Structure 1
């Protein structure tokens, strides 16, 4: 597939979007921070009746805050391990996990042992600084709070996860690994059904996804109206599936361009 400019998304298709899933790091953010314009775009989308749901590798602690404080319908976190959705009228947080508490505890012990092996075998790698707030996975930092590792080192981290029987996905900052048969797409399917009352297979044309890195490939491949911010082009050789459309700008500025195209098609 050849990525087209976001401006080439037909107006009728853009106007039909009712649900927008979006990655966070390097998709909404720039240099590790959330720009005001990107947050404002989330608000504008919500006011226009588009349900927005961040889909992220970030930890449960962050997702609880995002679900409560951001103008979103809910959050899919830790690469699909759970979703959180806050009912503002009832003042109640809904938390749904793939695995139960006992299975998560057992997996945590396995991941803790694996973490020690990875740190021993890959010099310069570190446990991600947000690991303390994670419910189900292990995040290894290769460039967020440590000097950037080369591609070979990142591949070795991913290999060590795989050798241990874990699933491993590479984001723009971390290698995330977990035990279990799930990913971002499987939990988005469940979130859409249980929270939004939507079928993402039957209503694919009414949904879109925005991302930036290789671990977003399943989402790029599934959603007909998938979009990338411009920094996705850095990973083009590593993408198993490409987004259908791409913004001109990187990070949060690129997300704003995509949001404005969707809103403009609605006359907003």
Structure 2
């Protein structure tokens, strides 16, 4: 690290158990962020600020007025732009140290398998089960950690899936029933809650990549923001899971 980097990351380096080795680990890391919406926005902002060496940003959508209540990486002047272009410009302004690759496409199983193999960790901020299942399968196949988050209404959740370490995968928790996930346009969502969960995804990603503390591997953290109730559940691996099970 040069002197400017030591100054930029100095408060982070001071954290007990993180120090220079943790920062160097982040600078050498590659992270894929799927979706630049309510979850991907805060996750991308904090991971860029933290000094992740390379971020791959994947989103196929354009910025709309209704996004701005929660997708804080974008601003009013960005309406009509692709979310990848808007996010890349914002992140470059926050931290020019970070190399950024953008993927402006709707990801399928094949493209996810190719992308996931090139990174060290995946942050999933997508809003549909098809993408979540495909991202999980790609992470299992490549042996990559998956930091998964979801928010709807006043409810949120976050988990870290590490089947490469013997833990469960996303499919163990949510078997594929063919049902579609509820959308914000149908049920609404509280903007600050997406910021909380997206920021926690960034925290967990930093912990996994730097070896700091105990990540939420095999754990599901659930929040009911209406009553501010938090629950932490232990997840079990399904030996018959079609994605990570013995078969």
TM-score where L is the length of structure 2: 0.33
Bigger relative contact order (CA 8 A; separation at least 6): 1
TM-score where L is the length of structure 1: 0.31
